[in-house]
Structure 1
Amino acid sequence: MNGRRYKRGRLLHQSESQQLVMMKMMTTKAVLLFLALVLAAVRADVNSAEVTGSWATQAVASDNPSKTGDGGPLRPFFRTIDCAGAGCQTITLSFYTKEAGRCVLHTVVGEKGSDGNYQSEYSGQNYYHFLVQKPGFIVFYNHNVDANGQDTHMTVALAQGGQLSDTQSASYADVTDANSISRGSIQQVASHEKQIPMSTSELTEEDMKELPDKD
């Protein structure tokens, strides 16, 4: 009798443990779903007036420095961002990259999906959204998947009218960390890289030497 009672008790204990595990899993899923909905709502709330305008890249961070380092295809030097439609449904990004010693201007158009992410084709597929939107300072997150299926997760800090303030730099480092990208990967953009005229589509290495030195 005692053995049977013990066995039943053990089975009951196991059943309760399984129920607890299932409840925890359901709770976790509910929390993740809630967070996903919150994030989607935040991503959907784009202030066109704060985003549209002339911008300069101040810093880049990623989990794939070879793509975002000097000369990398995912090191964008921004010039302008334009919004169209309610809540910036369509976004147009104007930026240049250095390719084989030349600076090439790109114009990329993105459409916002139901999850709040924009999608554009450039050096693969890109899925991105804004992390920070403030007057004169924005940060966005991008997930790039290249033609070989390689993933790059990155953040980019943009500013208007000068370098980032200490507060803005700290905010950028914090949101970069919060998105599972090490703040140790943050690369500051040299001042001469930000001073290339927007109308210039190509510059040789000799042209680059004539640009102002870094402050």
Structure 2
Amino acid sequence: MKAVLLTLLFGAVCGAQETPAEIDPSKIPGEWRTIYAAADNKEKIVEGGPLRGYYRHIECIDDCEYLSITFYDKDDGTCLLLKEVAKRKEGYVYVIEYAGANTLELIHVSDTMLVTYVENYDGEKTTKMTEGLGKGTSYTQEELQKYQELNSERGIPTENIDNVIETDTCPP
């Protein structure tokens, strides 16, 4: 009887484990805008913070071995256009140097929504953050809910989500 109970318990636990969503690489390239950002250390992503970026374009290079990311950074209100290239580490996890050492993982991609999970090490502290990108300038209620869930799964509080598009005054 104990064996049957343990087998059922094991099956229930395994069934509850969520399988990571498969990323469709054909949906990665394109024009993207940063809609939301969230971090466990919110001061890094507030307007003027070192990790607040305004995405514009992502391109796959060599079957997504590299990601070319075009974005704006603001310095005292002036938009600076930057292009960084991230190198694939494994799966859809990339390494990139920007405001410290970063691992960037694509954790959700659909036709209209792309979410990255970043761990940034600035030499002193590691900050966990997500960036919610969109093809337009807002999320549907369902997309916002998905973004909130992805943050919750990574220990980033919902109250640390910042609406980035509201401060995006950089050129399209």
* Kept in 1: contact 2:47–2:167 (CA 8 A): no
**Amino acid corresponding to residue 185 of structure 1 in structure 2:** N
Percent of counterpart pairs with the same letter? 27
Higher-strand-fraction structure: 2
TM-score by length of 2: 0.83
List gaps (5 residues or longer) in structure 1. 1-30, 199-215
Distance change in 2, residues 1:116/1:54 (3 Å): closer
How many matched pairs?
157
> Aligned-pair distance for 1:170?
0.3
> Aligned-pair distance for 1:83?
0.5
**Amino acid corresponding to residue 171 of structure 2 in structure 1:** P
* Kept in 1: contact 2:36–2:165 (CA 8 A): no
1:62 aligned to 2:39? yes
Moved more, 106-115 or 172-181: 106-115
1:61-210 equivalence runs, <5 A: 61-86=38-63, 88-114=64-90, 116-146=92-122, 148-191=123-166, 193=168, 196-198=170-172
2-side partners of 1:124 and 1:162: how far apart?
28
**Amino acid corresponding to residue 196 of structure 1 in structure 2:** C
> Aligned-pair distance for 1:149?
2.4
Higher-helix-fraction structure: 1
Q: Which has the higher contact order (CA 8 A, sep 6+)?
A: 2
2-side partners of 1:161 and 1:74: how far apart?
21
1:157-193 deviations in Å (ceiling 9; x for gaps): 0000231000000000001000111111001124451
* Kept in 2: contact 1:71–1:99 (CA 8 A): yes
> Aligned-pair distance for 1:79?
0.5
1-side partners of 2:101 and 2:77: how far apart?
24
> Aligned-pair distance for 1:71?
0.5
> Aligned-pair distance for 1:136?
1.2
2-side partners of 1:90 and 1:72: how far apart?
26
> Aligned-pair distance for 1:91?
0.4
1:99-132 deviations in Å (ceiling 9; x for gaps): 2332211111011113642000111111011111
> Aligned-pair distance for 1:153?
0.5
2-side partners of 1:114 and 1:190: how far apart?
30
1-side partners of 2:82 and 2:35: how far apart?
18
2-side partners of 1:66 and 1:89: how far apart?
31
TM-score by length of 1: 0.67
* Kept in 2: contact 1:84–1:90 (CA 8 A): yes
Q: Secondary structure at the match of 1:167?
A: helix
